[in-house]
Every structure is written in C-alpha cells, then in structure tokens.
Amino acid sequence: MKRRDFVKSLGAGSLAVGAAVTGAPAVHAEEKIKWKMVTTWPKNFPGLGTGANDLADLITEMSGGRLEVKVYGANELVGALEIFDAVSRGTAEMGHGAAYYWKGKSEAAQFFAAVPFGLTAQEMNGWLYSGGGMELWTEVYAEFGLVPTAAGNTGVQMGGWFNKEINKVTDLEGLKMRIPGLGGEVLKRAGGTPVLLPGGEIFPSLQSGAIDATEWVGPYNDMAFGLYKAAKYYYYPGWHEPGTTLECFVNKKALEALPKDLQSIVLNAARVANANMLAEYTARNNAALETLVTEHKVDLRQYPDEVMKKLKELSDEVVSELAAKDPMSGKVFASFRKFRDQAIAWHNVSERAYLNQRSL
C-alpha cells in the first residue's frame, strides 16, 4: 500500500516537473475581461437601447464569458453626446450611437450613418461590407484611436412629427426641428433651424414648444417615446434617413490588447447585431404604425411631391459642397456615389420593379 502511494506521488511530481520544464500552462479558470459600453440611447430603449444590449450579450455569450460587456445608457456614465470622446480616451472600451452625431469631429463621419436620398439599409450593408465603405470608415476613425463597426440599422425612417401641415416648401421656413446630420443642413437651406438633441430630450422639447417639429426614427420608437402626444401630423417618407446605420466603435488599444479570437468575436458579434436590429424594425414598425393611426388617431401624411423635389435639390447641393470643401468627405463621397449609382441601376430592374408589380 505504501509503495503504491509512493509511486502515485512520484508520478504526480513528475507531471508537475514536466509542466515546469516544458512551460505548459497551469490548468485554471481563465480570468474574465470586463468592458464598458456607453451609448447615446436611454437605457433599454426599444430597438436602439436594446440593440446595444443585444450586442453586449452576444459578445459575452460568444466568448463563453471570457469577455463580459456592461452597457451604460445615456447619462449613466457620460452624457449621450460625450460617448465618442469617452471611448477615444479609454474611459469606456465601446460606444454605441450613430456616426452623424460626430460631424464636429469629422464631417466625413456623417456618410456612415445616413445621407439624404442616399442608400437604403440593404445598400448601406452592401457598400460597407463589399463596396469599400468599411475601409474608409476605419480610415476616418483612425485618428481618434477608434475602430468602427456597423451594429444595427433602422431601415427607412419616418419624415417627422409636426404641429402644422407641410403643403409647400415655404412651410419649412422658420421651423425649429430636431434633425441631425446632413438632413439638418438641408433643412437649414430650406429656411428652417436644425436642432441637435439626444433622444431623451426630444419629447419634453416638443411638448414645451422649444422645438416645432422632430424626426426620431419610426413608428416602433416614436410610439415608445409618446411623440403622438406632442404633435398631430406624422409625415413620410424619411428622405433624410433612408437606411440609417447604427454604429459600435471600439477603443483601438483595448481591441488590440485582446487575444485574436476575442477580437474576431467583437467584430463579428457586431455584424450579427446589425442584422438583428434591422429584422426587429422590419417586424415591429407596421404594428406600431397601425396603433398610432387607429388608436391614437395620428394624422398620417405623405410629403407633397413639390416639397420632396426641392429637398432633393437642396440635398444634392449640401452633399456636393461638403465633398468639395473637405478632402476626406470628398474621398468618401466618391465611393458612396459610385456605389449608389450602381445600386440604383440594378434596383430599377430588381427591387423597384418587383415592388411596383406587387402593389398592383
């Protein structure tokens, strides 16, 4: 018995020595890495806030818990429009928002969220993933120490909420409207005053009269914010945001400090979240619109053709002038425009042709 015990102990000791000699790793539970994600959205807000939660959960689950991401809603850790700087300086490892909020950092950033009369969600994904868009986006964010990813899309948005009818272009003059990015510049050309507000401030501003009108997202989100309680007219389509890409940007140093497999998980989880969000909006908007119209008696209106024609003219002016004055914007727009023209030609004989026939 004693001899057997001695042999067992000798064998265990030999294994320990072997591990030390060969440098084999000790067998123990791997230490968890904990990251913070800051967002521009109210915590758990349907679609946008829950989209950030979805991404965080995907990363945690796909990594087997090795990388755990905690989400902070707007103003929990930093202000809604302070997340870009927070992730750039390393206060948080990830941020979830929309690139047009950062035009003050880089005018070119706006192209990666939404361009008036630009690309739809399907087309944006095509440009980003297979048309050179992601490479350009990465170049734009590089100077800030950030790595961008597409992390959601709302699809075509609604045109906005108004307390007066929009029958002609002059009805936009003097209008104070919450509208970000390039769409805001177009409104300014039409005589209106664009106002940039984070989501949580929209309803009280509209209700108090601090703004006259607002766009937000679409029926699913607009109903959740109760915007129908503060405005009467609901216009479509969302000419200013035809396929808005939501983003997740990552602190470059934090990303590169991860093992290669975790880096891949972070970036590929964002692609899954991108698809998930678009599916959710496609599924939820119709029922929400029906509720707004039938139960809340919202006055649903289509923008007059005269107004849409003028807005498109102004949009072309705004985007062309931006591309001419800012070299990086010019570089991005050249790629964007080439892809858009090709997409239009193809979709005229595919998507548009089919949808026209289906509506007969």
Amino acid at 19: A
Name the CATH topology of 33-155+243-283: D-Maltodextrin-Binding Protein; domain 2 (3.40.190)
Mean pLDDT of the 237-258 span: 98
User: Over the chain, what is the mean pLDDT?
Assistant: 93
**CA 247 distance to own-chain centroid:** 4
Cβ 38 vs Cβ 83: under 8 Å: yes
Which helix (H) or strand (E) element contains residue 251?
A: strand 245-251
**pLDDT tens per residue across span 290-316:** 999 999 999 999 999 999 999 999 999
Q: What percent of the chain has pLDDT over 90?
A: 91
pTM of this prediction exceeds 0.85: yes
**Ranges assigned E (strand) in 47-159:** 67-72, 94-97, 146-153
Query: What is the C-alpha to C-alpha distance for residues 173 and 309, in angstroms, rounded to an integer?
Result: 16
Q: What is the pLDDT of residue 221?
A: 96
Domain boundaries, the chain: 33-155+243-283, 160-241+284-326
Provide φ and ψ at 24, rounded to 5°: -65, 145
Mean pLDDT of the 162-190 span: 97
**pLDDT tens per residue across span 75-125:** 999 999 999 999 999 999 999 999 999 999 999 999 999 999 999 999 999
pLDDT category of residue 198 using cuts at 50, 70 and 90: very high
Q: What is the pLDDT of residue 1?
A: 41
Contacts of 140 (CB under 8 A, 6+ apart): 106, 108, 109, 112, 148, 328, 332
**pLDDT tens per residue across span 16-26:** 333 333 443 43
Query: What is the C-alpha to C-alpha distance for residues 297 and 77, in angstroms, rounded to an integer?
Result: 38
Fold identical between 33-155+243-283 and 160-241+284-326? yes
**pLDDT tens per residue across span 47-84:** 999 999 999 999 999 999 999 999 999 999 999 999 99
pLDDT category of residue 31 using cuts at 50, 70 and 90: confident
Query: What is the C-alpha to C-alpha distance for residues 71 and 42, in angstroms, rounded to an integer?
Result: 11
Name the CATH topology of 160-241+284-326: D-Maltodextrin-Binding Protein; domain 2 (3.40.190)
Quick one: tokens of 148?
Answer: 């961008």
Query: What is the C-alpha to C-alpha distance for residues 87 and 255, in angstroms, rounded to an integer?
Result: 12
Q: What percent of the chain has pLDDT over 70?
A: 92
Q: What is the pLDDT of residue 30?
A: 67
Query: What is the C-alpha to C-alpha distance for residues 93 and 65, in angstroms, rounded to an integer?
Result: 17
Q: What is the pLDDT of residue 3?
A: 42
